[in-house]
């Protein structure tokens, strides 16, 4: 037999074995679709789940406290369990109890709307004062106020040494229905057998994360990347420069959010309500740009990314506009890039900036800050909203500062109160919007907000608009349940009313008259459409008219990790940029055609932006958003921690192909032990027999 034939036969055997193994694995294991949580780190440590290797456990259902007590009391020998948990039971204390039982392999949280796994009436994985350690009050011994006290359990800032997966609610997805159905059937099967009559169903979980120690170590080893994305800003002004003496009114909102299960950071009421309202206010003002251009002050719109990670977007933006900027390495050509600044055509490569237009913004000329926070009205009494009464509250840092009080008075007395027509989204036809001082009686200072980053540098009149006075009314702050499904036409009407009154108040704060301000009204149909598109359908007709490249209907509101080689890492951020550029465009005539199905369409000029296949002139620009305690080391081309007191959040890297979850039947530990014992005994018998037979043969034929 020739060597070639031998090799071919060996190859056939190997392929046959592989195919047989695949068939056997497919017959034993059933893959389940579930999603894990990414491990996060900062300068002091890490949080989130992880496992060093695969975790295998018998499926055990814990839907309520009775199930939990039964699990704790259940003490079978040599058995570990994968607990199927309801969201109502997904709390730090429950996870601690499960872990302390010393029989926990992992956890699967099920967002299933049935009697056993009902949705909680409230849920928030964030802290009672989110981001306190990076806030304006970080030097205080304790938070001045708890804004999220009712539901904020802080679970997303805790570390777990076992894997945690989620099966989210998606009733329109057949795969999801089959996956959850399979999981619940395995749980019911084990319940019927009282977790003792084998065989029982078990689940294997694998959620290995490369990250360890803290942000500094992880960045140095190349296992982590800064958590972050891209902030967006724009203005109606064509002449925004450091040299003019025009004041600035900053209108801001947060552009994304965070959650325990990052893949399902929906943030409908948490942040989407704010940035949709800001976009609607910008659109309202754009209807008469001649009047806006005649104002003595400029209006600057900002959408800050990664605020949930130490106010990363706003702190980095404020740092850059409040200090002189020097570019140490400019690009050699229009498409030049480098290892430490991978974006082709970045205006500065060291430090890396895709755009250096922020140099035109003079921090000292900012005269007022208006932040649109949570304004959907979610959590407010339905009868109040349905009656068309929208009460919003103005939060301030210093309630004794006269300039701040003047700004508040402008909102509460002239610009921000009145009846707003909301036909098309609400049967009511109009809403009565009223802005109220949140500090009446007691000043709780500012809630977590981007305005803090500005005030940390300089005392500036600032108001933060929210639908809450003393604590968040949103029962699902940064929760998987904040998905927009609870929103009604009354909520869209509320946001539209706030957008209208905010536009009018901002116009007046920039120097316009109350009479002229009254002409501005938000497009309520646009508000409803924007909100629905951002939260549930990125391929909607409104978005498709701007950008035809979106291929999936849903993307989360989580920023992800910062990548200096791309301008936008998500479709929602790219759409915000397009809409803001379109609304603030100072020339709407077609400069030329372009392809808006691409993320980087060419328009031939830095001030021209492709919107709906047309190049328009706009000041819209981007700005890097990642922790201000992290900087790029241009010698090693690695990010390093430079200030542990600032935001230093990084995200662990992982091999997505190794993250898996599958179920199979297992025999009892006793039976498995017997199998091992029999196997060892047979091995010993065969070894001994082989020895004596060999010895006999050697003696016989010697």
- CA nearest to 622, candidates 398, 318, 303, 165: 303
pLDDT at residue 415 in the model: 59
**With bands split at pLDDT 50, 70 and 90, how would you rate the model's confidence at 624?**
very high
| 609 within 8 A of 618, measured Cβ to Cβ | yes
Instruction: Say whether pLDDT at 27 is over 60.
Output: no
**Lowest model confidence (mean pLDDT) among 172-186, 201-215, 658-672:** 658-672
**With bands split at pLDDT 50, 70 and 90, how would you rate the model's confidence at 178?**
confident
Instruction: Say whether pLDDT at 535 is over 70.
Output: yes
Report d(CA 319, CA 649) in Å as an integer.
18
Q: Percentage of the chain surpassing pLDDT 90?
A: 64
What does the mean pLDDT of the chain come to? 88
Largest Cα–Cα distance of the chain, in whole Å?
A: 119
Q: Residue with structure tokens 């804004």?
A: 147
**Lowest model confidence (mean pLDDT) among 192-206, 245-259, 598-612:** 598-612
Which residues, including other chains, have CB under 8 Å from residue 161's CB and lie 6 or more apart? 49, 50, 51, 99
Rounded to an integer, the average pLDDT of 516-523 is: 94
- CA nearest to 538, candidates 562, 515, 513, 572: 572
- CA nearest to 52, candidates 207, 157, 205: 207
Rounded to an integer, the average pLDDT of 465-486 is: 95
266: left (phi over 0), alpha (psi -120 to 50) or beta: alpha
**Lowest model confidence (mean pLDDT) among 154-163, 479-488, 649-658:** 649-658
Joined together, the tokens standing for residue 38 give 């990414």
| Domain residue ranges in the chain | 21-139+152-213+655-666, 227-626
pLDDT at residue 281 in the model: 98
Rounded to an integer, the average pLDDT of 580-609 is: 75
Which residues, including other chains, have CB under 8 Å from residue 569's CB and lie 6 or more apart? 229, 230, 559, 560, 561, 563
pLDDT at residue 251 in the model: 99
Instruction: Say whether pLDDT at 7 is over 60.
Output: no
Most confident range (mean pLDDT) of 424-433, 487-496, 663-672 is 487-496
Q: Read off the pLDDT of residues 322-364 as tens digits, 9 standing for 90 and up.
A: 999 999 999 888 778 787 898 988 999 999 999 999 999 999 9
Report d(CA 483, CA 342) in Å as an integer.
34
Q: Read off the pLDDT of residues 200-227 as tens digits, 9 standing for 90 and up.
A: 999 999 877 777 789 999 999 999 999 9
Q: Read off the pLDDT of residues 295-311 as tens digits, 9 standing for 90 and up.
A: 999 999 999 999 999 99
Instruction: Say whether pLDDT at 58 is over 90.
Output: yes
Which residues, including other chains, have CB under 8 Å from residue 17's CB and lie 6 or more apart? none
Instruction: Say whether pLDDT at 81 is over 90.
Output: yes
Q: Coil, helix or strand for 675? A: helix
**With bands split at pLDDT 50, 70 and 90, how would you rate the model's confidence at 424?**
low
Report d(CA 311, CA 432) in Å as an integer.
33
Report d(CA 434, CA 237) in Å as an integer.
30
Report d(CA 388, CA 494) in Å as an integer.
8
Which residues, including other chains, have CB under 8 Å from residue 368's CB and lie 6 or more apart? 249, 250, 407, 460, 461, 462, 509
Instruction: Say whether pLDDT at 319 is over 70.
Output: yes
Instruction: Say whether pLDDT at 702 is over 80.
Output: no
pLDDT at residue 14 in the model: 45
pLDDT at residue 190 in the model: 94
Strand partners, 617: 587, 608
Q: Read off the pLDDT of residues 124-133 as tens digits, 9 standing for 90 and up.
A: 999 999 999 9
Instruction: Say whether pLDDT at 428 is over 70.
Output: no
pLDDT at residue 380 in the model: 82
**Lowest model confidence (mean pLDDT) among 281-290, 551-560, 664-673, 675-684:** 664-673
pLDDT at residue 131 in the model: 96
Instruction: Say whether pLDDT at 655 is over 80.
Output: no
Joined together, the tokens standing for residue 64 give 């309520």
DSSP conformation class of 120? P
Instruction: Say whether pLDDT at 2 is over 60.
Output: no
pLDDT at residue 376 in the model: 96
- CA nearest to 416, candidates 301, 511, 498, 509: 498
Q: Coil, helix or strand for 497? A: helix
pLDDT at residue 13 in the model: 41
Q: Residue with structure tokens 């990664």?
A: 306
Q: Coil, helix or strand for 411? A: helix
Q: Coil, helix or strand for 367? A: strand
Instruction: Say whether pLDDT at 25 is over 80.
Output: no
pLDDT at residue 426 in the model: 60
Strand (E) or helix (H) holding 164:
strand 164-167
**579 vs 415, more confident:** 579
pLDDT at residue 17 in the model: 38
Q: Read off the pLDDT of residues 357-401 as tens digits, 9 standing for 90 and up.
A: 999 999 999 999 999 999 999 988 887 787 788 999 999 999 999
**With bands split at pLDDT 50, 70 and 90, how would you rate the model's confidence at 441?**
confident
- CA nearest to 134, candidates 452, 526, 611, 585: 452
């Amino acid at each position: 037999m020739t060597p070639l034939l031998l090799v071919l036969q060996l190859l056939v055997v190997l392929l046959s074995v592989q195919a047989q193994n695949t068939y056997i694995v497919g017959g034993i294991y059933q893959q389940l679709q579930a999603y894990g949580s990414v491990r996060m780190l900062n300068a002091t440590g890490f949080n989130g789940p992880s496992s060093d290797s695969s975790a295998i456990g018998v499926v055990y259902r814990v839907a309520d406290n009775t199930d939990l007590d039964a699990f704790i009391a259940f003490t079978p020998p040599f058995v570990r369990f994968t607990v199927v948990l309801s969201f109502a039971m997904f709390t730090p204390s429950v996870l601690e109890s499960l872990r302390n039982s010393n029989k926990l392999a992992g956890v699967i949280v099920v967002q299933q709307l049935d009697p056993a796994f009902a949705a909680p009436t409230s849920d928030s994985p964030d802290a009672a004062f989110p981001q306190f350690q990076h806030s304006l009050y970080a030097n205080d011994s304790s938070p001045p106020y708890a804004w999220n006290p009712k539901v904020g359990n802080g679970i997303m800032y805790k570390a777990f040494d076992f894997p945690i997966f989620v099966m989210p609610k998606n009733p329109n997805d057949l795969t999801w229905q089959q996956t959850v159905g399979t999981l619940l059937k395995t749980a019911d099967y084990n319940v019927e057998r009282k977790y003792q009559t084998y065989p029982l169903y078990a689940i294997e979980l694998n959620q290995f994360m490369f990250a360890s120690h803290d942000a500094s170590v992880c960045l140095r080893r190349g296992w982590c990347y800064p958590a972050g994305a891209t902030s967006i800003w724009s203005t109606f002004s064509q002449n925004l420069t450091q040299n003019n003496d025009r004041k600035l009114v900053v209108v801001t909102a947060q552009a994304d959010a965070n959650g325990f299960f990052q893949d399902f950071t929906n943030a409908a009421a948490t942040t989407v309500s704010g940035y949709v309202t800001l976009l609607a206010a910008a659109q309202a003002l754009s209807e008469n740009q001649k009047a806006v251009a005649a104002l003595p002050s400029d209006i600057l719109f900002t959408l800050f990314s990664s605020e949930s990670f130490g106010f990363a977007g706003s702190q980095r933006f404020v740092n850059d506009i409040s200090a002189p900027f020097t570019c140490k390495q400019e690009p050699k050509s229009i498409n030049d890039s480098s290892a430490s600044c991978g974006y082709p055509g970045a205006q500065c490569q060291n430090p890396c900036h895709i755009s250096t237009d922020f140099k035109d913004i003079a921090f000292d000329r900012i005269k007022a800050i208006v932040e649109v926070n949570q304004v959907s009205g979610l959590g407010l009494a339905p009868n109040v909203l349905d009656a068309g009464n929208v009460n919003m509250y103005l939060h301030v840092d210093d309630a004794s500062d006269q300039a701040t009080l003047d700004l508040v008075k402008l909102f509460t007395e002239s610009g921000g109160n009145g009846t707003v027509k909301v036909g098309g989204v609400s049967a009511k036809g109009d809403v009565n919007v009223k802005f109220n001082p949140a500090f009446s009686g007691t000043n709780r200072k500012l809630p977590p907000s981007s305005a803090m980053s500005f005030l940390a540098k300089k005392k500036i009149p600032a108001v933060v608009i929210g639908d809450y006075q003393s604590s968040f009314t949103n029962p699902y702050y940064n929760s998987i349940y904040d998905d927009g499904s609870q929103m009604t036409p009354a909520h869209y009407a509320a946001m539209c009313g706030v957008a209208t009154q905010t536009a009018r108040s901002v116009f007046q704060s920039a120097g316009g008259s109350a009479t002229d301000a009254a002409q501005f009204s938000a497009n309520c149909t646009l508000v409803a459409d924007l909100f629905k598109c951002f939260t549930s359908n990125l391929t909607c007709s409104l978005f498709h008219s701007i950008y035809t490249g979106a291929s999936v209907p849903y993307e989360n509101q989580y920023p992800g990790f910062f990548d200096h080689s791309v301008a936008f890492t998500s479709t929602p951020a790219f759409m915000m940029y397009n809409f803001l550029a379109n609304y603030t465009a100072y020339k709407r005539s077609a400069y030329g055609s372009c392809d808006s199905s691409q993320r980087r369409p060419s328009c031939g000029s830095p001030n021209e932006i492709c919107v709906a296949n047309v190049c328009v002139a706009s000041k819209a620009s981007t700005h890097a958003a990642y922790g201000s305690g992290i900087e790029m080391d241009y010698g090693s081309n690695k990010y390093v921690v430079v200030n542990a007191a600032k935001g230093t959040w990084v995200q662990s890297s992982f091999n997505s192909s190794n993250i898996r979850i599958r179920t199979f039947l297992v025999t009892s530990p006793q039976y498995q032990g017997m199998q091992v014992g029999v196997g060892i005994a047979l091995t010993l018998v065969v070894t001994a027999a082989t020895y004596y037979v060999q010895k006999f043969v050697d003696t016989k034929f010697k």
